[in-house]
Amino acid sequence: MAHLILVRHGHSAWNKLDLWTGHTDVPLAEEGYAEARRAGEALRDITIHTVHVSHLIRTHETARELLRAHGTETELLPYAALNERHYGVHTGKNKWEIKAMIGENAFTRIRRGWNEPIPEGETLKDVHARVVPHYQTHVLSHLRAGRNVLVVSHGNTLRALIKHLDALDTHEVEGVEVATGSVHCYEIDSTGSILRKEVRS
């Protein structure tokens, strides 16, 4: 048996300002470091063998702080497939100002919908199409071999992966919330099947 651990990066400087961040490389805010430390403490009973992060600094900072709190030193392996959803023309804009401009229904579809397009950006379906192959190619073999894998990524990227892992339909995934610093732990057997899931923080 092995553990797949999914952690959303800690609160970032743009999270504080309610800005759509996407691929913008924004560092953690101070509370983000505190969230990372809490995540590390919540995982002290699990050995961390491998750590996958996105190319964005907020996941690197979260992973390093988490590992310090956990008492583990290991290499961070960055993958573009784990990057946040690209918000296209909305990148850097205030979410609530956009909501006031386009209305609540359109705003909810953009934020939560499965295949709602953003000009010059990605849908959640697009993110799913890159993160699931990453899991199948780069993560699953470690889990089948009994090695625990920590994935530190982003809200939408983890929502897309959770859709796959939990076998959710396109409507169910709209209700999935992954808070900053939250820890989603899966127990995986040698066939790659999920035995149990828990959310630790």
- Positions marked active-site: 9, 84
Instruction: Convert 49-83 to b/e letters by CB count within 10 Å (16 or more is b).
Output: bbbbbbebebbbbbbbbbbebbebeeeeebbebbb
Nearest to 177 by CA among 194, 191, 163, 195: 163
CB 121 within 8 A of CB 22: yes
HSE-up of 46 (CA within 13 Å, CB side)?
Answer: 26
